[in-house]
Amino acid sequence: MITGSIVALVTPMCPESCDVDWKALESLVEWHIEQGTHALVAVGTTGESATLSVKEHSQVIRATVEASKGRIPIIAGTGANCTREAIELTEAAKKAGADSCLLVTPYYNKPTQEGLYQHYKAIAESVDIDQILYNVPGRTACDLLPETVLRLSTIPNIVGIKEATGDLERAKFLIEHSPHDFAIYSGDDHSARQLMLLGGHGDISVTANVAPNLMSQMCKAALDADADKAQAIDQQLLPVHDAMFVESNPIPVKWAVNQLGLIEDAIRLPLTKLSEANQVKVIQALKSALLIK
């Protein structure tokens, strides 16, 4: 089981063209490994999956796997609102050597719970790779209910869920009622510490893009049931958790990673660069957390 601080990795892009910056991507993977990150998600929401072509999507997964050189697990974002496309992306991720896949609920078309079950079942039966469900109704207008998650948890290669609602009661229910080897990950940095202290298994994190070492330490402390240490680190990072969502993700986090000197300031339309007013807020948060001077 993959556990700990799992970075929902940004996808670096070149200025002007907004083509993928392959050299920066390789450097970013190396930096995260040095900083103690436990695993990486390539091409999730934070990686601008919605604006990459299928070809680019597969190339970023492969490049991330190759850069990691097997040192940490790579989870490939392969979700789509078309089941056939999700299968195609998941097959590409397996071929590229990803350790597992993260599949967001189908967005926009609002399937029923039975439709969600059949969607995930079809992908799992089509591609023999570990698969993690991803529920983020605030972005998808689609809520994967706990009862459906439990149905899906009996499928052998569906191995966990990224629960991004921030609802700790829901997380507690899933932890208590899912199989013991079914991973429950937070997809909400604000409540990740509490979820892990309840028995969850890690945090698929936006904040960890700019504070990988601190997030790694916090997750380890929470998983070790060291509540005081986990709380102290989480309190230090609270301003960053807030700042990463002053505009739609990944607008703030890409700008913040740029301020650390790790990537160029480039983001693909329809997303736009962080406004000047919110740049001030992000800088203040990074300084407050002692991430920059």
Annotation marks residue 69 as catalytic: no
Q: What is the C-alpha to C-alpha distance for residues 95 and 111, in angstroms, rounded to an integer?
A: 29
Task: Check whether the bond before 250 is cis (ω within 30° of 0).
Answer: yes
Annotation marks residue 134 as catalytic: yes
Q: What is the DSSP string of 30-58?
A: HHHHHHT--EEEESSTTTTGGGS-HHHHH
Q: State the catalytic residue, choosing from 94, 162, 220, 254.
A: 162
CA-only gyration radius of the chain, Å: 18
Q: What is the C-alpha to C-alpha distance for residues 233 and 221, in angstroms, rounded to an integer?
A: 9
Q: What is the C-alpha to C-alpha distance for residues 277 and 30, in angstroms, rounded to an integer?
A: 32
* Burial category of 97 from C-beta neighbours within 10 Å (exposed 0-12, middle 13-18, buried 19 and up): middle
Q: What is the C-alpha to C-alpha distance for residues 130 and 111, in angstroms, rounded to an integer?
A: 23
Q: What is the C-alpha to C-alpha distance for residues 230 and 10, in angstroms, rounded to an integer?
A: 25
Q: State the catalytic residue, choosing from 120, 134, 220, 254.
A: 134
Query: Which residues participate in catalysis according to the annotation?
Result: 134, 162
